[in-house]
């Protein structure tokens, strides 16, 4: 029992009280096998740098290009066809990183609003034309000790600069400490949070941004959450957790 208490205390230190309570609720619903899902998101704006993140010749053997709806590289992604159709159907763009012909990593981007596929929500990065949305950056397991992660960001940054984008927004699971730390290292700015409780068609959103609260019992209804990156210039940088909690290990989000 003392060990359990120490683990819970470490969880609260790592995540903070609110996120720790939501994480325990999430785990309890899983343990009871109840059809209730809990999502705790941090909303991040990341600056698009003017220069590559990788220095020198690191990553020179890796080449980036766009992946279209008919590209054979899609078969190498751990994604179902329904997910791919949803993403391409809303105008999302996929960029891939390759070593010769082998897929190494990929990232998805929208140059406008993003229809979330994990909960019912429409995220709108602003100002239009200067802000984008990025999601599901994935490095294949065989390449996770290589420079692939930063090289994938260099490819994405170059694409976004070509389209006049200065900030790229995303949501990350607040339960995923490694992702929180990663965004802190990349200069991410915290734009607030959005917490969802989903039980069948019922969805409750509590957010630190407009619309603040949204409750729906129909699958057609979804909140619209605008993210104004003009606030990011003076906003707080994403804080890296001081210590990891033993109970936190799994990422409950897809990719990011």
Q: What is the pTM of this model?
A: 0.88
- The β-bridge relationship of strands 131-139 and 167-173 is parallel
pLDDT digits (tens, 9 = 90+) for 151-182: 999 999 999 999 999 999 999 999 998 888 88
Rounded to 5, what percent of the chain is helix, strand, coil?
30, 30, 40
195, two tokens: 């917490």
b/e per residue 41-74 (b: at least 16 CB within 10 A): bbbbbbbbeeebbbeeeebeebebeebeeeeebb
Enter the DSSP assignment of 105: E
C-alpha closest to that of 152 among 88, 160, 79: 160
- Per the CB < 8 A criterion, the answer to whether 73 and 67 are in contact is yes
Task: Tell me which of 33-37, 71-75, 221-225, 238-242 is least confident.
Answer: 238-242
- Per the CB < 8 A criterion, the answer to whether 35 and 179 are in contact is no
Helical pair 17-32 and 2-15, crossing angle rounded to 10 deg: 130
Q: Is the pLDDT of residue 251 over 60?
A: no
pLDDT digits (tens, 9 = 90+) for 176-201: 988 888 888 889 999 999 999 999 99
What is the pLDDT at residue 243?
46
CA-atom Rg of the chain in angstroms? 19
157, two tokens: 């940054």
* Domains of the chain, CATH where assigned: 15-47+55-231 (3.40.630.30)
Residues 114 and 189: their CA atoms lie apart, in Å, by 19
Residue 239, Cβ neighbours under 10 Å: how many?
13
151, two tokens: 């090289």
What is the pLDDT at residue 1?
57
pLDDT digits (tens, 9 = 90+) for 199-247: 999 999 999 999 999 999 998 899 999 999 987 776 666 655 554 443 4
Q: Give the helix/strand (H/E) hosting 82.
A: helix 81-89
- The set of residues, in sequence order, having a beta carbon less than 8 Å from that of 13 and lying 6+ positions away, is 242, 243, 245
Q: Is the pLDDT of residue 57 over 60?
A: yes
């Amino acid at each position: 029992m003392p060990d359990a208490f120490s683990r819970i205390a470490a969880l609260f230190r790592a995540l903070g009280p609110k996120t720790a309570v939501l994480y325990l609720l999430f785990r309890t619903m899983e343990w009871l096998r109840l059809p209730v899902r809990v999502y705790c998101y941090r909303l991040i704006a990341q600056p698009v740098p003017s220069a590559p993140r990788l220095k020198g010749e690191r990553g020179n053997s890796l080449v980036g290009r766009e992946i279209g709806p008919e590209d054979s590289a899609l078969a190498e992604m751990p994604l179902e066809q329904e997910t791919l159709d949803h993403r391409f159907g809303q105008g999302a763009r996929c960029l891939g990183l390759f070593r010769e012909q082998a897929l190494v990593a990929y990232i998805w981007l929208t140059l406008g609003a993003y229809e979330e596929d994990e909960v019912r929500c429409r995220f709108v990065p602003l100002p239009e034309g200067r802000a984008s949305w990025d999601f599901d950056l994935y490095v294949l397991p065989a390449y996770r000790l290589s420079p692939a992660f930063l090289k994938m960001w260099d490819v994405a940054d170059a694409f976004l600069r070509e389209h006049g984008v200065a900030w790229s927004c995303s949501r990350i699971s607040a339960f995923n400490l490694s992702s929180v730390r990663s965004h802190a290292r990349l200069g991410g700015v915290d734009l607030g949070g959005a917490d969802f409780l989903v039980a069948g068609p019922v969805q409750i959103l509590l957010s630190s941004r407009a619309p603040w609260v949204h409750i729906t019992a129909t699958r057609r209804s979804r909140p619209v959450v605008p993210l104004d990156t003009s606030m990011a210039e003076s906003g707080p940088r994403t804080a890296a957790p001081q210590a990891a909690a033993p109970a936190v290990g799994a990422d409950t989000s897809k990719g990011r």
